[in-house]
Amino acid sequence: MPEVRVSPRERLVLTAIIELYIATGEPVASQAVARYFANKEGLSSATIRNVMATLGESGLLDQPHTSAGRVPTASAFRFYVEQITRQDAQLGRMSAASIGVAAPAADVMPLSQARRGQIEDSFSGVASTTEYLERTSHVLALISQGLGVALAGSTERQVLEHIHFSRLATGRVLAVLVTQAGAVHDRVLALDRDLTHVELETAARYLNENFRGWLIDRIRAEVARRMEAERAAYHQMLASVEELCSKGALVGVEASPTIFVDGMANLIASEVDRERMRQMLLALEAKQRLVELLTAYVDGRQQEVRVVVGLDEASPAMQDLVLIGAPARLGGANLGTVAVIAPTRMQYQEMIQAVRYVAGLSQRILDVPTE
């Protein structure tokens, strides 16, 4: 998409229109913009009308009806978000450098103390990664009046704390895997041969004694290597371990990503077009689509909040939705992704700050045991 170029005056008017539209949900007329400025910027109603016409020609404003006011387009919202995130980054650099320079003219408002308190109270009692992610989806849905989403990170960078196997029936075993970040994953395994309780206990003990503290993705490769190298000496025991691993004992998260979603009713309430609502819900209820969405747009190796206006590339039904997401980390590990998916009419500054704040809470509320 080509870069949007607007003059300082056009930026002022466009920002006013977007903020008025967010506040009211109604097309914005030039008189409303004039009242917004209250002559503080020296803009006459005639000047505002001319600027609005120019913004319309640039594809930043739509006019639903001939006599109606204007509404921002997706391009306008993208421009608005770009200004916010640029100012936000500048403010963050100033804070980090501890220099006494005033914030940019259009200040990025920090999250209010009341909102921070509400968020922290909502996470009371959370003690594991799974609880943190589940609570996150609920909290972000509540704050945004949109969809709160939390996706557990891949086991690729997770470290084994403990694994346990329980025999459910002939050829069926429950594997419970605990990571050192506090995440608990369970998976029912369908085995090609039946294993006794003793064989399962022996396999779990071997994995816990030999691989506690290992990256989970490395364990599978090492078990396969030892199976080949030590086949003669430990054939029976290693065969059991290899059978469990090959059937997914250590790939529960990768094979079926854990994702928590809350707030679908918020989107239903905000959508008036029934057919479009049905298509949107079909797109969002496919959890694999949400996993793909978060994976595509939010990089777990980065720390900044990502804002994507218009998700029509993922699905035409999501063209008027916005994704605000950020990775949640604990030390050097990526715990997952936390995000809000909401209509374009949202309080962007507050939601960007809220998503960042919730993502940062993972470092404070999760008590990870140290060696």
pLDDT at position 20: 94
Do 8-75 and 156-255 share a fold? no
- Specify the CATH number of the domain 156-255: 3.30.390.10
CA–CA dist 166, 173 (Å, integer): 6
CATH architecture assigned to 109-153+257-365: 2-Layer Sandwich (3.30)
The sign of the dihedral angle between the CA atoms of 144, 148, 154, 158 is positive
Report pLDDT digits (tens) over 45-60: 888 999 999 999 999 9
Taking each continuous run of H as one helix and of E as one strand, the counts in the chain are 14, 10
Identify the band that residue 317 occupies on the pLDDT scale cut at 50, 70 and 90.
Answer: confident
Higher pLDDT, 329 or 4: 329
pLDDT at position 194: 87
The pTM (predicted TM-score) of the whole model is 0.70
Identify the band that residue 261 occupies on the pLDDT scale cut at 50, 70 and 90.
Answer: confident
CA–CA dist 85, 88 (Å, integer): 5
Residue pair 18/345 in contact by the 8 Å Cβ criterion: no
Top-confidence range, 219-223, 235-239, 305-309: 305-309
Identify the band that residue 67 occupies on the pLDDT scale cut at 50, 70 and 90.
Answer: low
Q: Is 260 strand, coil or helix?
A: strand
CA–CA dist 287, 149 (Å, integer): 10
- The amino acid occupying position 200 is L
CA–CA dist 196, 310 (Å, integer): 53
pLDDT over 80 at 366, yes or no: no
CA–CA dist 338, 51 (Å, integer): 38
Top-confidence range, 210-214, 265-269, 292-296, 308-312: 210-214
Fold of 8-75: Arc Repressor Mutant, subunit A (1.10.10)
Contacts of 321 (CB under 8 A, 6+ apart): 280, 310, 311, 341, 342, 343, 344
Concatenated DSSP letters for 150-180?
EEEPPGGG-BEEEEEEEEEETTEEEEEEEET
CA–CA dist 305, 85 (Å, integer): 9
Residue ranges of domains in the chain: 8-75, 109-153+257-365, 156-255
Identify the band that residue 199 occupies on the pLDDT scale cut at 50, 70 and 90.
Answer: confident
CA–CA dist 15, 112 (Å, integer): 22
Report pLDDT digits (tens) over 84-140: 887 665 554 433 333 232 333 344 567 889 999 999 999 988 877 888 888 999 999
